[in-house]
Amino acid sequence: MTPSVRYTVFPASPEAHVFGVSCVVDDPDPGGQQFSMPAWIPGSYLLREFARHVVRIRARSGRHEVPISKLNKNTWVAEPCAGSLTIEYEVYAFDLSVRGAYLDTTRGFFNGTCVFLRVHGAEQVPHLVDIQPPAGARYRNWRIATAMTRNGARPGGFGRYNAGNYDELIDHPVEMGEFSVASFRAAGVPHEVIISGRHSADMKRLARDLKQLCEKQIAFWGEAPMKRYVFLTLAVGEGYGGLEHRASTSLICSRDDLPQDGTAVPDERYRTFLGLCSHEYFHTWNVKRIKPEAFTPYDLDHENHTRLLWAFEGITSYYDDLMLVRAGLISRDAYLEGLGKTITQVQRGSGRLKQSVAESSFDAWTKFYRQDENAPNAVVSYYTKGSLIALCLDLLIRQKTGGRSSLDHVMRVLWKRYGRSGIGVPEDGVEQVAEQVSGVRLGRFFESAVHGVGDLPLSRLFKHVGIEMNWRQAESMADRGGKPASAGATPAARRADLGIRTQAEPGGVRISHVFDGGSAQRAGLSAGDVIVAIDDLRVNEKNLEKLLSLRKAEQNLRVHAFRRDELIQFEVEARAAPRDTCFLSATDDKAFARHRRAWLGTA
């Protein structure tokens, strides 16, 4: 009989947010069996120290107690015993994010990294799981959603599941409770959309749209690497996030982002949700199977550094909305609007001039996932700038090869060479494959775009596909770009700009970020200061923009703000907003339009 590791997960106390877990090892280490809880979850590059949620832990062999002690922050050792060893422990689960575990009287959710101890030396044996329902009549309608392989459990039912090894075990999150379900097949592969939380989504519309999207992506790659796929979605009042897994994704969204009955064309909010689904689904290939050499295998106890996150997250971020337009789910103009917003977001952060995306990737563990009030001035996002690098790379290859090659071809070769084989991509692997596939010398481009801090040649590359890149000043702090200036707006050139971001605060507005070189920074205002008055007029979240719109650029403003409990007066020389707000427009030139249609995949 093949040795195995067997787990039981039980919602022991939903009202106290506690899962009970047991782990049975058939053939424990005779020198003392070690166990550890992962310190991080693949796809989210921060040490989250899941062991801190273990409330209590004990070990036994049959009826006999086995002494167990802790070796370090996330590792325990049980003393030698005769026969099988059982570890029993409790896990506190009250993290509503897609990265953790959650349990209350309305739903349960967990990632395997939060509840399954890793049995040292037994990572490659079969892992079996018995997921049990909570006790009590109030839970009689609860069911389960997961992409984990059933081993006796009925579809959607509690019971036994299995995984081939520990890595597979922790890559199948589990949702439990009462939820909505919609099913569809994409290229013959069964898919499910699960929505927990209160909502009024048009599930048929959602299934229809996701079917189009998934089929487009499967056709892009040429094959589906999973036998079944599940979109696990939690709808809340306001929220956004996703985490990829090998045959599923965990999503959190605002319930207003979901499609409603009668919605003819996806509005901006629904486009946001579709883009999130597209992003996580693309990861099924790019990062779950095509992955950096540094991730093969994952070291779940320590940081796994790589300079390639710009490719795995950035390229995925490039393709997420591009797949929506290619699938016919959004229009060309809607896509260009979103692209203009991304360009605006990157342009507004001076961190892009100080940190390369390769450095941002490497420092994700200590900088990108631990951003503070100075982040816009010090950090560049390997997601957003990475997506623009992918855009430039795609357009450059298309231009240099006369449309015979593209980033699409590069990605498919990466899939065949690395994704199918499970071999990790070397640190220079993406650059090498791009040159080999396209036949174009790209060393100078990668050195500048990936390893340098200069601005990207977007305007020049856009011209080849008939796109004009336009810049204007922001109309307000809430202006994210993507569109021309609105009619009737206060002329931006006359609007006073302080160079700050703010958030609501009782009695004023709190400065959350101060931008390099802006009026506020030059005057000495700092993040955390609470502005209470401008020119002796009280400030609040609703009237700040109006007060600034009535002041002209180059005008001196008298700003009163609290720093801690001290009221300080600042003399601020307001300046006009910089021209850092982008919107794109398509030209009518037929030759360029042909290249644009080939790029966007539109008729």
Q: What is the pLDDT of residues 232-244, one digit of tens each?
A: 999 999 999 999 9
* Mean per-residue pLDDT, 563-583: 94
Q: Tell me how far apart the alpha carbons of residues 545 and 513 are, in angstroms, rounded to a whole number.
A: 16
Q: What is the pLDDT of residues 259-317, one digit of tens each?
A: 998 777 789 999 999 999 999 999 999 999 999 999 999 999 999 999 999 999 999 99
Enumerate residues 6+ apart whose C-beta is below 8 A from 114.
37, 41, 50, 53, 91, 93, 95, 100, 101
Check residue 416 and give its pLDDT: 98
CB 329 within 8 A of CB 273: no
Q: Quickly name the fold that domain 179-267 has.
A: Zincin-like (3.30.2010)
Q: What is the Rg, in whole angstroms, of the alpha carbon atoms belonging to the chain?
A: 26
Check residue 189 and give its pLDDT: 98
Peptide bond into 506 cis (omega under 30): no
Q: Is it true that 285-472+598-603 and 496-576 share their CATH fold? A: no
Tell the CATH superfamily of the 285-472+598-603 domain.
Neutral Protease Domain 2 (1.10.390.10)
Range with lowest mean pLDDT among 318-322, 376-380, 420-424, 590-594:
590-594
Residue 79 has pLDDT above 90, yes or no: yes
Q: What is the pLDDT of residues 537-547, one digit of tens each?
A: 999 988 998 89
Query: What's the CATH architecture for 496-576?
Result: Roll (2.30)
Residue 470 has pLDDT above 70, yes or no: yes
Check residue 494 and give its pLDDT: 65
Q: Tell me how far apart the alpha carbons of residues 493 and 74 are, in angstroms, rounded to a whole number.
A: 56
Enumerate residues 6+ apart whose C-beta is below 8 A from 454.
448
Q: Tell me how far apart the alpha carbons of residues 558 and 569 are, in angstroms, rounded to a whole number.
A: 7
Percent of the chain with pLDDT over 90: 91
Residue 2 has pLDDT above 80, yes or no: no
Question: Which band of pLDDT confidence, cut at 50, 70 and 90, is reported for residue 223?
Answer: very high
Check residue 453 and give its pLDDT: 97
3-class state of residue 442 by DSSP: coil
Helix residue ranges, H only, 175-245: 203-221
Domain boundaries, the chain: 5-177, 179-267, 285-472+598-603, 496-576
Q: Quickly name the fold that domain 5-177 has.
A: Immunoglobulin-like (2.60.40)
Residue 492 has pLDDT above 70, yes or no: no
DSSP string, 3-57: --EEEEEEEEEGGGTEEEEEEEESS--TT-EEEE--SSBTTB-S---GGGGEEEE
Residue 490 has pLDDT above 60, yes or no: no
